[in-house]
Copies of this chain bind each other. A is one copy, B any other.
Protein backbone atom coordinates (compact mmCIF):
# COMPACT_ATOMS: atom_id res chain seq x y z
CA UNK A 1 0.00 0.00 0.00
CA UNK A 2 1.26 3.48 -0.80
CA UNK A 3 2.21 5.67 2.12
CA UNK A 4 1.87 9.39 2.52
CA UNK A 5 5.35 10.82 1.96
CA UNK A 6 6.76 13.21 4.54
CA UNK A 7 6.84 16.88 3.64
CA UNK A 8 9.95 17.07 1.53
CA UNK A 9 10.84 17.93 -2.04
CA UNK A 10 8.34 16.91 -4.71
CA UNK A 11 11.06 14.90 -6.36
CA UNK A 12 10.71 12.26 -3.68
CA UNK A 13 7.20 11.43 -4.85
CA UNK A 14 6.79 8.73 -7.46
CA UNK A 15 3.46 7.95 -9.10
CA UNK A 16 4.38 4.27 -9.00
CA UNK A 17 3.55 4.39 -5.31
CA UNK A 18 -0.03 3.95 -6.47
CA UNK A 19 0.69 0.85 -8.57
CA UNK A 20 -1.79 -2.02 -8.72
CA UNK A 21 -4.84 -0.09 -7.65
CA UNK A 22 -8.22 -1.57 -8.56
CA UNK A 23 -9.63 -4.76 -9.99
CA UNK A 24 -9.37 -6.76 -13.20
CA UNK A 25 -13.10 -7.44 -13.78
CA UNK A 26 -15.78 -4.74 -13.95
CA UNK A 27 -19.39 -4.50 -15.11
CA UNK A 28 -21.69 -1.64 -16.10
CA UNK A 29 -25.30 -2.85 -16.18
CA UNK A 30 -26.71 0.43 -17.51
CA UNK A 31 -26.06 1.38 -21.09
CA UNK A 32 -28.03 3.46 -23.60
CA UNK A 33 -26.84 5.86 -26.29
CA UNK A 34 -29.73 8.09 -27.42
CA UNK A 35 -29.75 9.09 -31.08
CA UNK A 36 -31.47 12.39 -30.25
CA UNK A 37 -29.39 15.25 -28.97
CA UNK A 38 -29.86 19.00 -28.66
CA UNK A 39 -26.15 19.74 -28.88
CA UNK A 40 -25.26 17.95 -32.11
CA UNK A 41 -22.70 20.59 -33.04
CA UNK A 42 -20.57 19.97 -29.95
CA UNK A 43 -18.94 16.60 -29.51
CA UNK A 44 -18.43 17.10 -25.78
CA UNK A 45 -22.08 18.10 -25.20
CA UNK A 46 -23.71 15.54 -27.52
CA UNK A 47 -25.33 12.61 -25.72
CA UNK A 48 -22.75 9.96 -24.91
CA UNK A 49 -21.73 7.19 -22.52
CA UNK A 50 -18.22 7.05 -21.13
CA UNK A 51 -16.21 4.49 -19.22
CA UNK A 52 -13.46 6.32 -17.34
CA UNK A 53 -10.54 3.88 -17.03
CA UNK A 54 -7.57 4.49 -14.72
CA UNK A 55 -4.38 2.44 -14.97
CA UNK A 56 -1.90 3.27 -12.18
CA UNK A 57 0.41 0.38 -13.04
CA UNK A 58 3.83 0.65 -14.62
CA UNK A 59 2.70 -1.62 -17.44
CA UNK A 60 0.03 -1.06 -20.08
CA UNK A 61 -3.44 -2.43 -19.42
CA UNK A 62 -4.76 -4.69 -22.19
CA UNK A 63 -8.53 -4.50 -21.93
CA UNK A 64 -11.36 -6.48 -23.53
CA UNK A 65 -14.94 -5.16 -23.45
CA UNK A 66 -18.00 -7.34 -24.07
CA UNK A 67 -21.38 -5.77 -24.87
CA UNK A 68 -24.57 -7.53 -23.72
CA UNK A 69 -28.04 -6.92 -25.17
CA UNK A 70 -31.62 -7.71 -24.24
CA UNK A 71 -32.48 -9.78 -27.28
CA UNK A 72 -29.33 -11.17 -28.89
CA UNK A 73 -25.97 -12.74 -28.11
CA UNK A 74 -23.15 -10.61 -26.67
CA UNK A 75 -20.68 -8.92 -29.01
CA UNK A 76 -16.94 -8.64 -28.48
CA UNK A 77 -14.22 -8.36 -27.69
CA UNK A 78 -13.62 -4.68 -28.18
CA UNK A 79 -9.91 -4.19 -27.49
CA UNK A 80 -8.58 -1.11 -25.73
CA UNK A 81 -5.17 -0.30 -24.31
CA UNK A 82 -4.68 2.13 -21.43
CA UNK A 83 -0.97 2.94 -21.23
CA UNK A 84 0.98 2.71 -17.99
CA UNK A 85 0.17 5.56 -15.55
CA UNK A 86 -2.59 6.96 -17.75
CA UNK A 87 -6.35 7.44 -17.69
CA UNK A 88 -8.62 6.93 -20.70
CA UNK A 89 -12.13 8.36 -20.84
CA UNK A 90 -13.55 5.95 -23.40
CA UNK A 91 -16.70 6.91 -25.29
CA UNK A 92 -18.82 3.90 -26.17
CA UNK A 93 -19.96 5.61 -29.36
CA UNK A 94 -16.32 5.51 -30.51
CA UNK A 95 -16.20 1.70 -30.38
CA UNK A 96 -16.27 0.34 -33.95
CA UNK A 97 -14.59 -3.09 -34.05
CA UNK A 98 -16.14 -5.71 -34.25
CA UNK A 99 -19.22 -3.47 -34.78
CA UNK A 100 -20.62 -0.10 -33.60
CA UNK A 101 -22.96 -0.13 -30.61
CA UNK A 102 -26.50 0.51 -31.85
CA UNK A 103 -28.29 3.70 -30.75
CA UNK A 104 -31.55 3.76 -28.76
CA UNK A 105 -30.83 0.24 -27.54
CA UNK A 106 -30.42 -1.07 -23.99
CA UNK A 107 -27.04 -2.67 -23.42
CA UNK A 108 -24.62 -3.57 -20.63
CA UNK A 109 -20.86 -4.02 -20.64
CA UNK A 110 -18.23 -6.22 -19.00
CA UNK A 111 -14.67 -4.95 -18.84
CA UNK A 112 -11.74 -7.34 -18.33
CA UNK A 113 -8.16 -6.13 -17.90
CA UNK A 114 -4.89 -8.04 -17.55
CA UNK A 115 -3.79 -5.69 -14.73
CA UNK A 116 -5.88 -3.96 -12.02
CA UNK A 117 -7.71 -0.82 -13.13
CA UNK A 118 -10.47 1.45 -11.78
CA UNK A 119 -13.66 2.05 -13.82
CA UNK A 120 -16.25 4.79 -13.42
CA UNK A 121 -19.32 5.11 -15.65
CA UNK A 122 -20.64 8.47 -16.86
CA UNK A 123 -23.54 9.33 -19.15
CA UNK A 124 -24.39 12.72 -20.59
CA UNK A 125 -27.97 12.89 -21.83
CA UNK A 126 -28.77 15.92 -23.94
CA UNK A 127 -32.00 14.75 -25.52
CA UNK A 128 -33.63 17.56 -23.62
CA UNK A 129 -32.34 21.13 -23.99
CA UNK A 130 -30.94 20.87 -20.45
CA UNK A 131 -28.12 18.48 -19.77
CA UNK A 132 -28.59 15.44 -17.59
CA UNK A 133 -25.43 13.85 -16.32
CA UNK A 134 -24.91 10.68 -14.34
CA UNK A 135 -21.85 8.99 -12.99
CA UNK A 136 -21.33 5.98 -10.84
CA UNK A 137 -18.59 3.59 -9.95
CA UNK A 138 -18.80 0.43 -12.05
CA UNK A 139 -19.33 -2.91 -10.35
CA UNK A 140 -16.02 -4.48 -9.32
CA UNK A 141 -15.81 -8.22 -8.87
CA UNK A 142 -13.93 -8.53 -5.55
CA UNK A 143 -13.35 -12.24 -5.26
CA UNK A 144 -12.91 -13.63 -8.76
A positions within 8 Å CB-CB of B: 1-5, 7, 10, 13, 15, 17-18, 21-22, 24-25, 27-32, 34, 44-45, 50, 52-54, 56, 62-64, 66, 68-71, 73-74, 76-77, 79, 85-89, 98, 106-108, 110, 112-114, 118-142, 144
Check A112 against B18 for contact (C-beta < 8 Å): yes
Nearest residue, chain B, Cβ from A85: B74
Given contacts A125-B131, A132-B132, 18 further A-B contacts (CB under 8 A): A4-B114, A7-B79, A10-B76, A13-B64, A15-B68, A15-B74, A17-B112, A29-B52, A29-B53, A29-B54, A29-B120, A68-B85, A74-B85, A89-B106, A128-B130, A128-B131, A134-B134, A136-B137
Could you list 28 examples of A-B contacts with CB < 8 Å?
A2-B112, A4-B63, A4-B113, A7-B79, A17-B112, A18-B66, A18-B110, A21-B27, A21-B110, A21-B141, A27-B56, A27-B118, A29-B52, A29-B119, A30-B122, A30-B135, A31-B87, A52-B108, A54-B68, A56-B68, A73-B85, A87-B108, A88-B106, A121-B135, A125-B133, A133-B133, A135-B136, A137-B138
Docked Cα-Cα span, A69 to B87, in Å, equals 5
Chain B residues with Cβ below 8 Å from A3 are: 112, 114
Chain B residues with Cβ below 8 Å from A7 are: 79
CB distance from A3 to the nearest CB of B (A): 7
What copy number does this chain have within its complex?
Answer: 4
